[in-house]
């Protein structure tokens, strides 16, 4: 299987208040910025679509069901805490055909060692349809922490997803 000629990437921000215009979404654009730097370093062609929705499981589920066939990589930001409107994890997890628990567990432990509140994030990662998906918290600081770790493994993860073996037989 070959890599796509152009990676289609979707970034979904879940926020009732940003959706109502009460404040500007900064976390979605920050994911785009960090991802753009990474993609430029790989030489992969890509386009990014940002969308902002309220914390609504029906809207998110419908969006993800169609996105899994169109996008190669999906990021969500927001809705990974334990508040009553934090619905991202419960909506995403049942849609996963494969979960990748290690990356999110590592991020929680690494940053939670210094800031115990980081252990309260419930973000998940995995595969929906043909898409990799990562669910990140909604703060810009958390986005930077998560992206720092995710980007360390993203190229290898993408290659694995497309069945491209980069391991030599001597290793």
pLDDT tens across the length of the chain (171 residues):
799 999 999 999 999 999 999 999 999 999 999 999 999 999 999 999 999 999 999 999 999 999 989 999 999 999 999 999 999 999 999 999 999 999 999 999 999 999 999 999 999 999 999 999 999 999 999 999 999 999 999 999 999 999 998 765 544
Looking at the DSSP bridge assignments, the partners of residue 51 are: 12
pLDDT at 166: 77
State residue 101's pLDDT score: 97
Q: pTM here?
A: 0.95
- Tokens coding 122: 């419930």
Q: Are strands 131-136 and 73-77 parallel, antiparallel or unpaired?
A: parallel
**E strand or H helix at 56, and its extent?**
none
Domain ranges of the chain: 6-161
Pick the CATH number of 6-161 from 3.30.70.2190, 3.40.980.10, 3.40.50.80, 3.30.450.70: 3.40.980.10
- Region for residue 6 given its phi and psi (left: phi exceeds 0; alpha: psi -120 to 50; beta: otherwise): beta
């Amino acid at each position: 299987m070959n890599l796509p000629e152009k990676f289609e990437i979707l970034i979904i921000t879940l926020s009732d208040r940003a959706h109502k215009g009460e404040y500007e979404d900064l976390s979605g654009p920050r994911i785009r910025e960090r991802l753009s730097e990474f993609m430029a370093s790989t030489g992969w062609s890509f386009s990014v679509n940002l969308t902002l929705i309220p914390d609504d499981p029906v809207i998110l589920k419908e969006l993800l069901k169609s996105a899994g066939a169109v996008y190669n990589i999906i990021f969500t930001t927001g809705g990974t805490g334990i508040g009553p409107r934090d619905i991202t994890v419960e909506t995403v997890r049942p849609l996963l055909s494969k979960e990748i628990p290690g990356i999110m567990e590592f991020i929680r432990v690494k940053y939670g060692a210094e800031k115990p509140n980081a252990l309260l994030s419930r973000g998940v990662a995995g595969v929906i349809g043909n898409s990799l998906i990562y669910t990140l918290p909604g703060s810009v600081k958390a986005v930077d922490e998560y992206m720092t770790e995710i980007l360390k493994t993203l190229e290898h993860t993408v290659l694995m997803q497309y069945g491209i073996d980069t391991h030599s037989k001597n290793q």
